[in-house]
């Protein structure tokens, strides 16, 4: 059996950030044991479906705030995973953490359990911006969390956010510069977007144009030895996040936990969103409440869009072998009709240039029109 990737969702946070639309609950509002029991049940159902000791290639535990869980819960969770899955092919094991809740005990527990990467939700290294976002930590706490995580031997990545109302290009440069100076080799950047209903969506301030911030990051991070390898992430080749690349390559991803999304053999699926609904369904079977299977041309177009999110781009010959020469030619012709500075064609491979990455959404929208 080809090893799977696994995404596991921790639905707890100490404080809900004002911009966050991911599903989470205040830690302690519902006993963590309720969620843990659901995870245990779900792994048993996965074993029935796929067999015992399912081999894994990558694991990503996100949230929510995984570091909000006490170490005692972590030990129980890791025991559940080790009993259900085969770690012998494991290449990467990532856990998300927030600077304000990450402890040395967490790091020691993870290091003893084959965790290889910690993804820190830094967001900014400007205290005014962090306060505006509603983050609990400050810049000093964030830098200290980077230092102690690196000292434990983990690969460490940081999430940074741009397009904040109080942000300037100077403060953005300082966040990037200070993160690199702290020793990080992987940075992901995200433009602040406010979904309807999140508290910051009701703020009176308008958000600034994110384009100059993104363009500056492309130039600055590449200059500092962190080339762009996908639409939002920058790292040397040996520090790229293998789990995230699984999504862009349409690899098989199992999903565990409330609101978790997975992808198996062309079918995308989502678990029950709330902890209550999840707990009720998982006692009886897999808690999947939504599924979508793309076929034929639609699946091929999605595969092309996902491949173009990465620096590796789209291999037209391998694409044609999988999805047909007609669709490959149609996509190639459409891309060749784009302004030439947006795309690079080399040896039957096409990828977005840095300029193309900046207008990726427009290019992908044109690709979607091919399925009309």
Least trusted range by pLDDT, from 63-67, 121-125, 169-173, 184-188: 63-67
The DSSP line for 327-359 is HHHHHHHHHHTS-GGGEEEETTEEEE-HHHHHT
**All CATH 3.20.20.70 domain ranges in the chain, comma separated:** 4-248
In the 8-state DSSP scheme, what is residue 195? -
Q: Could you give the CA distance from residue 131 to residue 189 in angstroms, rounded to a whole number? A: 19
CATH superfamily, domain 4-248, is Aldolase class I (3.20.20.70)
pTM of the model: 0.95
Look at residue 80 and tell me whether its pLDDT is greater than 70.
yes
How do residues 199-236 score in pLDDT, each as one tens digit?
A: 676 665 678 899 999 999 999 999 999 999 999 999 99
Can you give the pLDDT at residue 350? 96
Q: Could you give the CA distance from residue 47 to residue 72 in angstroms, rounded to a whole number? A: 25
Q: Could you give the CA distance from residue 343 to residue 336 in angstroms, rounded to a whole number? A: 8
Around 367, how many Cα atoms within 13 Å sit in the side-chain half-sphere? 26
Can you give the pLDDT at residue 5? 98
Look at residue 38 and tell me whether its pLDDT is greater than 90.
yes
Can you give the pLDDT at residue 56? 97
Can you give the pLDDT at residue 110? 98
Say what percent of the chain tops pLDDT 90.
Answer: 83
- On whether the CB atoms of residues 306 and 319 are closer than 8 A, the answer is no
Q: Which of 304, 324, 306 is CA-nearest to residue 315?
A: 304
What are the start-end ranges of the E strands in 82-207?
A: 85-86, 92-97, 117-123, 155-162, 186-191
The average pLDDT across 65-75 equals 96
How do residues 244-298 score in pLDDT, each as one tens digit?
A: 999 999 999 999 999 999 999 889 999 999 999 999 999 999 999 999 998 889 9
């Amino acid at each position: 059996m080809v090893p799977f990737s696994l995404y596991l969702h921790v639905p707890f946070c100490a404080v809900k950030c004002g911009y966050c639309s991911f599903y989470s609950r205040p830690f302690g509002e519902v006993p963590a044991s309720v969620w843990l029991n659901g995870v245990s049940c779900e792994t048993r159902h996965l074993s029935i479906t796929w067999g015992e000791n399912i081999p894994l290639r990558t694991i990503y535990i996100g949230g929510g705030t995984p570091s909000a869980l006490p170490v005692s819960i972590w030990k129980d969770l890791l025991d559940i995973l080790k009993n259900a899955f085969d770690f012998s092919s494991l290449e990467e094991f990532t856990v998300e953490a927030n600077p304000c809740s990450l402890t040395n005990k967490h790091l020691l527990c993870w290091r003893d359990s084959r965790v290889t990467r910690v993804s820190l939700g830094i967001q900014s290294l400007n205290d005014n911006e962090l306060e505006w976002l509603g983050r609990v930590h400050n810049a000093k706490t964030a830098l200290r969390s980077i230092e102690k995580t690196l000292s434990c031997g983990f690969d460490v990545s940081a999430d940074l956010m741009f397009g904040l109302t109080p942000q300037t290009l100077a403060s953005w440069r300082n966040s990037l510069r200070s993160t690199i100076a702290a020793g990080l080799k992987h940075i992901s950047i995200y433009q602040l977007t406010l979904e309807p209903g999140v508290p910051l969506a009701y703020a009176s301030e308008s958000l600034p144009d994110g384009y100059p911030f993104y363009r500056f990051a492309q130039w600055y991070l590449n200059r500092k030895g962190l080339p762009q390898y996908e639409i939002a992430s920058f790292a040397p080749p040996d520090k790229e996040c293998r789990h995230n690349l699984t999504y862009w390559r349409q690899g098989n991803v199992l999903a565990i936990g409330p609101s978790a999304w997975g992808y198996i053999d062309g079918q995308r699926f989502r678990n029950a969103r709330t902890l209550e609904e999840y707990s009720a369904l998982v006692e009886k079977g897999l808690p999947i409440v939504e599924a979508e299977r793309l076929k034929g041309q639609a699946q091929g177009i999605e595969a092309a869009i996902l491949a173009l999110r990465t620096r590796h781009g789209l291999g037209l010959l391998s694409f044609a072998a999988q999805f047909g020469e007609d669709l490959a030619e149609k996509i190639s012709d459409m891309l060749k009709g784009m302004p030439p500075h947006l795309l690079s064609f080399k040896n039957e491979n096409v990828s977005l240039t840095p300029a193309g990455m900046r207008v990726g959404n427009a290019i992908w929208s044109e690709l979607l029109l091919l399925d009309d």
